[in-house]
Amino acid sequence: MIEHHIDIKTQHGDMNTFITHPEENGPFPTVLFYMDAPGKREELHDMARRIATTGYCVMLPNLYYRKTREFLFERTESGMETMFEMTRHLSLELILADTQALLDYADQFEHADASRVGAVGYCMSGPFVFKAAAVYTDRIQCAASIYGANLVTTRSDSPHLSAEHITGEMYFACAEMDPYAPKETIEQLLLQLEQTNINYRLEWYPGAEHGFAFPGRGDIYHKASAERHWERLHALFDRNLSH
- Each residue of 207-232: pLDDT tens digit? 999 999 998 877 899 999 999 999 99
* pLDDT at residue 103, rounded to an integer: 98
Distance CA 210, CA 181 (A): 8
Q: How confident is the model at residue 71 (pLDDT cuts 50, 70, 90)?
A: confident
Q: How confident is the model over 89-116, as a mean pLDDT?
A: 96
For residue 78, count other CB atoms closer than 10 A to its CB: 8
Q: How confident is the model over 89-114, as a mean pLDDT?
A: 96
- Each residue of 145-181: pLDDT tens digit? 999 999 999 998 999 989 999 999 999 999 999 999 9
Distance CA 36, CA 62 (A): 10
* pLDDT at residue 76, rounded to an integer: 83
Q: How many distinct structural domains can be found in the chain? A: 1
* pLDDT at residue 229, rounded to an integer: 97
- Each residue of 73-97: pLDDT tens digit? 888 888 888 889 888 999 999 999 9
The answer to whether 165 and 133 are in contact (CB under 8 A) is no
Q: Would you list the DSSP string of 1-54? A: -EEEEEEEEETTEEEEEEEEE-SSS--EEEEEEE--TT-S-HHHHHHHHHHHTT
The residue segments making up the domain with residue 145 are 2-241
Residues forming a β-bridge with 112: 28
Distance CA 129, CA 95 (A): 9
Calculate the alpha carbon distances from 12 to 4, 64, 127 in Å. Answer: 21, 11, 21
Least trusted range by pLDDT, from 22-26, 64-68, 78-82: 78-82
Phi, psi (deg, nearest 5) at residue 34:
-95, 130
Residue of 231, 234, 73, 210 lying closest to 147 (CA atoms): 210
For residue 191, count other CB atoms closer than 10 A to its CB: 11
Residue of 21, 34, 239 lying closest to 125 (CA atoms): 34
Tell me 69's DSSP state. S
User: What is the share, in percent, of the chain residues with pLDDT greater than 70?
Assistant: 100
User: What is the share, in percent, of the chain residues with pLDDT greater than 90?
Assistant: 86
Least trusted range by pLDDT, from 13-22, 199-208, 214-223: 214-223
Q: What is the chain's mean pLDDT, rounded?
A: 94
* pLDDT at residue 73, rounded to an integer: 84
* pLDDT at residue 147, rounded to an integer: 96
The CATH number covering residue 70 comes to 3.40.50.1820
